[in-house]
Structure 1
Amino acid sequence: MINNIKITREPRFSRKPGPKITLEEWFGIIQRDPELSFIISSSTKKYGTTTASWDAHPNPGKELSYLWGVDGRIVAQYPNEHLLKKMIQISRLLNADVVGEKGEIYDLGADGSLITIDKHPSLPKKSASKFVTTNNMAYGMGASTCSDFTKKTRGSGKIPDITELSLLERWEYYFYSWYQGYVTATLENMTDSGESLIFAGSHAERRIKDMEFLKSYCKKYPDRRFHHAANALIKSHIDGIGQ
């Protein structure tokens, strides 16, 4: 299987350059297609959902048929040939392309078979280890110890409206906000193309899973710095672990 395939109109990848795919466009596709349905989770009521399931997948299973609306793209993780073909059908409705991690484009041949077009052979990935290290200087919340993080955070990982929180309860929000800035700066240098390497479902789902990972790491390594936990989380996303 192939990791992180997206439906996109991004000019640097697509043969059909255009604006980002809006949520309205994505929701319209889901609502009009009887084979697609919204994924309902425990966080949906509060945060909504941008995730859909392809219910006609011949081999249904957890996340094997999931499609995420993320940052103006529609993303699938480890799609097999069946889901890739469905993505191509969707991409045609959106006047977009189905693009892989190295810029390759997936399409259907005249006989309906899956074909690959090597659109951008000159965009190799840089080594993630070159940018994600545990030796960099950290400032702000990243310089706090893991034990400080676990002592000042609590709950399931859900982050409510900050105006509803007490000062103590806001620590969780502050730590995760630091992580978001850190991951943004790290990913800025992750590939020559500028492509993001982290796709992990809707923002609410990703945040909950991220906080669970960070808390687990910091309980295991209380003497390390919070930025070490952030690096571990970034690497886990890149490796496809914990997503």
Structure 2
Amino acid sequence: MVARRSIGRGLTAIALTSVSILPLLWGQANAQMVKIVGIGASSCQYFARETNGKPEVEKNFFAWAQGYMSGLLLRAPPGKDEDLDLEPALLPLLKQAEFLRNFCDRNPDADFSDGVIELYKTLRAPPS
């Protein structure tokens, strides 16, 4: 599966989990198109169809999501998201998987990676 994402000038994609959506999170302009790859680069419709009643397949999608968010965290500029916890007590892994399922249920025409971006934003600003 391949999806296209915008990135700001000067950013490069990394292997396995592309951090191509950093500008979406930090508002950079002058975008170019790059490809993200892997199981998570598919649509929410594909995610829903492929994971229906198959927890092992859903684990694969979630593992991709964790790697993608880890890549975002690694590529964040100095001072940005340095203390971000990708597994906070208020949003443990099972709740994060539920977040992604709910996102795709509400947004079947979106990409699964869009849900991962929303999850990352939620982790950046957890509910108080």
Which of 28, 40, 43 lines up with 1:145 in the alignment? 43
Q: Which has the higher helix share?
A: 2
Moved over 4 A (4+): none
Which of 190, 200, 220 lines up with 2:106 in the alignment? 220
Q: Which amino acid aligns with 1:186?
A: L
Please say if 1:233 is aligned against 2:119.
yes
C-alpha displacement of 1:153:
2.5
Hey, what's the Cα distance between the residues in 1 that align with 2:83 and 2:74? 8
Give aligned-pair identity as a percent.
27
TM-score by length of 1: 0.36
**Is contact 1:187-1:196 (8 Å) kept?**
no
**Is contact 1:142-1:226 (8 Å) kept?**
yes
C-alpha displacement of 1:228:
0.6
- Deviations 1:21-57 (CA, angstroms, capped at 9, x unpaired): xxxxxxxxxxxxxxxxxxxxxxxxxxxxxxxxxxxxx
**Is contact 1:128-1:190 (8 Å) kept?**
no
- Deviations 1:134-189 (CA, angstroms, capped at 9, x unpaired): x763211122110111223257xxxxxxxxxxxx4421110011001101100112
Number of the residue aligned with 1:175 = 61
Q: Which amino acid aligns with 1:171?
A: V
Which of 191, 198, 208 lines up with 2:94 in the alignment? 208
- Deviations 1:55-76 (CA, angstroms, capped at 9, x unpaired): xxxxxxxxxxxxxxxxxxxxxx
Unmatched runs of 5 consecutive residues or more in structure 2 = 1-22, 28-32
**Secondary structure of 1:137's partner?**
strand
- Deviations 1:93-145 (CA, angstroms, capped at 9, x unpaired): xxxxxxxxxxxxxxxxxxxxxxxxxxxxxxxxxx98228xxx76321112211
User: Where does 1:62-77 land on structure 2 (aligned, <5 Å)?
Assistant: none
Q: Which amino acid aligns with 2:59?
A: Y
**Is contact 1:149-1:226 (8 Å) kept?**
yes
**Is contact 1:190-1:196 (8 Å) kept?**
no
Q: Which has the higher contact order (CA 8 A, sep 6+)?
A: 2
Give the count of matched residue pairs.
100
Number of the residue aligned with 2:72 = 186
